[in-house]
Structure 1
Amino acid sequence: MPGTAFPGLTPQSAPAASRRILEATQQRLGFLPSAMARLAVSPHTLEAFTRMSAAFEAATLDVLARETVILTVATRNRCHVCVAMHTRKLRALDADEELIEALREARPLHDERLEAVRVFTMEVLDRAGEVDTGSLDALVVHGYTLEQALEVVLGIGAYTLSTLANRLTGAPVDAELEPYA
């Protein structure tokens, strides 16, 4: 934890360039996550994360594949905020509890398609993108496209930014997320 504390800003106390994003986040979620409130210290970083995550949400990967990428990055980077937030999202989607627990524990998944996404995500992270052809082929064999392989990289980028920023700023798990921590 850094010696200098990052403040939890509000739409009223944040730099002008961060206010719109904080207001929209608060309206969409019903609360302002501490992670976003601290990220607002840097309007450019806050905007980059929101744009990247919105692009990832609009990608052709299905929602469970996207959440597999996110939780794989979050558990690897030990970001308790992202783990809680995306556990909440998966439960809201009525995802299988075994899937959720396996992702939270970084265990192999029973769903072979999602396991291909999880393994590919880890390969991209562990090998800095220089995956062997077998990993990419395994993704394609399970019905994913080359476009979607690059979308996995987009998700990794967005959530590497988020997880590292959350750890740097010391963002705590919000009360609204405690049941999912």
Structure 2
Amino acid sequence: MNTSSSCSRSTYYSSLRNKIFHKASILSIDAMNQIGRTQCPEHRILNRTRTDFMARVAVIDPQTATGEAKQLLDAVQSGLGMVPNFIRVLANSPVALNAFLGLHGIAGAGVLDERTRERIALAVAEQNACQYCVSAHTAIGRKVGLDNDEMLANRRGRSLDAKAEAALIFAHALVEHTGQVSKAEFEAVRAAGHSDAEIIEIITHVAMNIFTNLLGKATEVEIDFPKVELNTAA
């Protein structure tokens, strides 16, 4: 075995655990359970009942995973205290999971505030009719301080915060036109106070959330968050 290579990979996974760890204050099992106990009619949160479920792809069990998949799943478990089904499905390809976790960690360290990032995630998930992602980001959104009315508005591409709403309108245009936004749409988000760095990060978060929406819908991954019904059907 190459000792330096082994040490390098060990350092990498340790760094990955640290990047994920700061998310633990945003999303935890206790937080999810608290949300599940809050019967909010506006969000139509459903009781989590177990039904027969047949996954389209394997849902990797962290306890029986091996190799790089095992190391990545252990890093997520160490950071979050849980491994969501979405991550378990993604672990079928350790390369894909590694890439997602890397991008997610970098994007989360940018200039956009965490509430705006969650607003974007909710808006894109609703626009793409991904129930898994709407459910997950409703849980995370509440944890970062978004209330029910704000999250419902976010899912419609609106916000009580004017600057955040400009980001959501821009995000909607990016999804609707697959990136071909108009000069006026670009100028509008800038006029609302978003810097070039923030605009690039809005595009990054839209792209990242489109990926999670596609994966969640294509695999029909079982929702392991308090379920939230979609406002629209796709």
SS in 2 for 1:14: coil
Higher relative contact order at CA 8 Å, sep ≥6: structure 1 or structure 2?
1
State the match for 2:223 in structure 1: 173
Counterpart CA distance in 2 for 1:109 and 1:94 is 14
Please tell me the root mean square deviation across aligned C-alpha atoms, in Å. 1.9
The one of 64, 70, 89 equivalent to 1:13 is 64
Aligned length: 176
Larger radius of gyration: 2
Alignment of 1:119 with 2:169, yes or no, is: yes
Identity among equivalent positions (%) equals 26
Give the C-alpha shift of residue 12 in structure 1: 3.4
Give the C-alpha shift of residue 167 in structure 1: 1.3
Counterpart CA distance in 2 for 1:179 and 1:164 is 18
AA partner of residue 68 (structure 1): R
Counterpart CA distance in 1 for 2:112 and 2:91 is 28
TM-score (normalizing by structure 1): 0.88
Counterpart CA distance in 2 for 1:164 and 1:179 is 18
Alignment of 1:101 with 2:140, yes or no, is: no
Counterpart CA distance in 2 for 1:39 and 1:14 is 13
TM-score (normalizing by structure 2): 0.69
Instruction: Please state which structure has a larger fraction of its residues in helix.
Output: 1
Alignment of 1:78 with 2:129, yes or no, is: yes
Question: Any conservation in 2 of the 1:34–1:172 contact (CA below 8 Å)?
Answer: yes
Counterpart CA distance in 1 for 2:65 and 2:204 is 27
Give the C-alpha shift of residue 29 in structure 1: 2.4
The one of 6, 26, 34 equivalent to 2:85 is 34
